């Protein structure tokens, strides 16, 4: 899928604690803890990013192959979308 993906501000409250993102899924009433690549992706999703931009960020930050980074982005985005925490434009 193409287009910009962004965190839905009305669906989640979050805070950064050291290198971890702690987010409250307001729709489900559940907490999420994001570290490592999840925290990197989250910060980009706050402003809005495309899946290729998210993949490029993982490649720049971590020692990972293109296919692995792309698959990780797809899975991460799909998980947040399933919770209703993202919007696409």
pLDDT for residue 82 is more than 90 = yes
The pLDDT value recorded for residue 58 is 97
What does the pLDDT average to over 57-75? 97
Rounded to an integer, what distance in angstroms lies between the CA atom of residue 86 and that of residue 62? 24
Domain residue spans of the chain = 5-83
Q: Structure pTM? A: 0.91
Tens of pLDDT, residues 12-51: 999 999 999 999 999 899 999 999 999 999 999 999 999 9
Per-residue confidence band for 55, with pLDDT thresholds at 50, 70 and 90: very high
- What is 5-83's CATH number, 1.10.10, 3.40.50, 3.40.1000, 1.10.3470? 1.10.10
Cα radius of gyration rounded to whole Å, the chain: 12
The pLDDT value recorded for residue 2 is 63
């Amino acid at each position: 899928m193409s287009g910009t993906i962004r965190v839905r501000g009305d669906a989640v409250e979050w805070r950064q604690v050291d290198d971890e993102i702690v987010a409250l899924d307001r729709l489900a009433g559940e907490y999420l803890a994001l570290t490592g690549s999840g925290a990197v992706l989250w910060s980009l999703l706050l402003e809005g990013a495309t899946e290729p931009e998210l993949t490029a960020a993982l490649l720049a930050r971590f020692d990972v192959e293109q296919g692995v980074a792309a698959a990780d982005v797809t899975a991460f985005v799909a998980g947040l979308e399933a919770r209703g925490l993202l919007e696409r434009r």
